[in-house]
Amino acid sequence: MPIQDFKNTIVNGDCLDIIRQFENQSIDMVLTSPPYDNLRTYKGYDFPFRPIARELFRTVKDGGVVVWVVSDATIDGTETGTSFKQAMFFKDIGFKIHDTMIFRKRNPIPQIYRQRYNNEFEYMFVFSKGTVSTHNPLMVPCLHAGLELNGTTYKNYSKHEQRRAKMAKPVKDEKIKGNIWEYVVGKNLEDQEAKGHPAPFPCELARDHIHSWSNPGDLVLDPMCGSGTTCKAAKQLGRNYIGIDTSAEYCEIARLRTEGRQEEMEQQIQLPLRETPGELFTIET
């Protein structure tokens, strides 16, 4: 089936069945968050990880990326390590592990104390099919912008001689952002639209990745799109999208969000949508 027929739609179904219908090398970028270790049942699903990963490899274009946002459950006192096992499987089938990034939550859910630190992050693995073809890096201000630092400020760790004095004067205004990205979860108006889903990721996270790894006009796939955060962000940024989810209910939320049907969204979650100030939770002992 031509990929054109799926463009800018939310498809209700098992992603394996749907992606099998896509042509080879038809997707520019994938951004998704799979179900984690059966932590949630959602609306009943089956998650055949390995065949899905292979289908992603077949359908992603050379130079395209898969951003896989994932975390591990703790079962019988040990983290499962599923995230790492999945990352190694992606590598085994031909992807490069391009970047292991961290999604840090500014307002992590308080947890029962069990002799370990409160979990406040998820992995965002960036797998690439060959050498990455698009990287539009996010920039942040340099702490010492404009200062004339002398050459000894930088240590030269490489074997080759570097002209450090030239690198340091003056310090640039901006530098490329690091790979730990921090977001408030579920507090912003645009994220509250997803209240009918138990585990949406923040719209800002989706926009940051889509901006980074694709260009306007590209096709972004979320094979487990839940409330449609990826699709909404892709549309906002002038990309095309395909969202897939096994739950008809989540697909409807995804369609309402992507199409910006505000009133129907409010009826769906039975709440007027409003901004909630971000807050930091602490564990009470």
Binding residues for ligand SAM (CB under 6 A): 14-15, 33, 35, 42-43, 45-47, 194, 197, 199-201, 223-227, 229, 244-247, 250
**What's the one-letter identity of residue 184?**
V
Task: State in angstroms the smallest separation of the CB of 46 from ligand SAM.
Answer: 6
Which is closer to ligand SAM, CB of 173 or CB of 182?
182
Which is closer to ligand SAM, CB of 47 or CB of 89?
47
| Angle at CA of residue 35, ends 63 and 101, nearest 5° | 45
Task: State in angstroms the smallest separation of the CB of 271 from ligand SAM.
Answer: 17
**What's the one-letter identity of residue 252?**
E
Residue nearest ligand SAM, CB atom distance: 226
Task: State in angstroms the smallest separation of the CB of 151 from ligand SAM.
Answer: 46
| Cα separations in angstroms, 19 against 15, 57, 153, 189, 227 | 6, 11, 51, 32, 19
Q: Sign of the C-alpha dihedral, residues 40, 44, 48, 52?
A: negative
Which is closer to ligand SAM, CB of 46 or CB of 284?
46
Task: State in angstroms the smallest separation of the CB of 68 from ligand SAM.
Answer: 11
Q: Helical H runs in 214-279? A: 229-236, 248-259, 262-269
Of residues 55, 69, 45, the one with CA closest to residue 18? 55
Which is closer to ligand SAM, CB of 49 or CB of 84?
49
Helix (H, G, I), strand (E, B) or coil at 66: strand
Residue with tokens 């998704």: 32
Which is closer to ligand SAM, CB of 43 or CB of 144?
43
Task: State in angstroms the smallest separation of the CB of 109 from ligand SAM.
Answer: 15
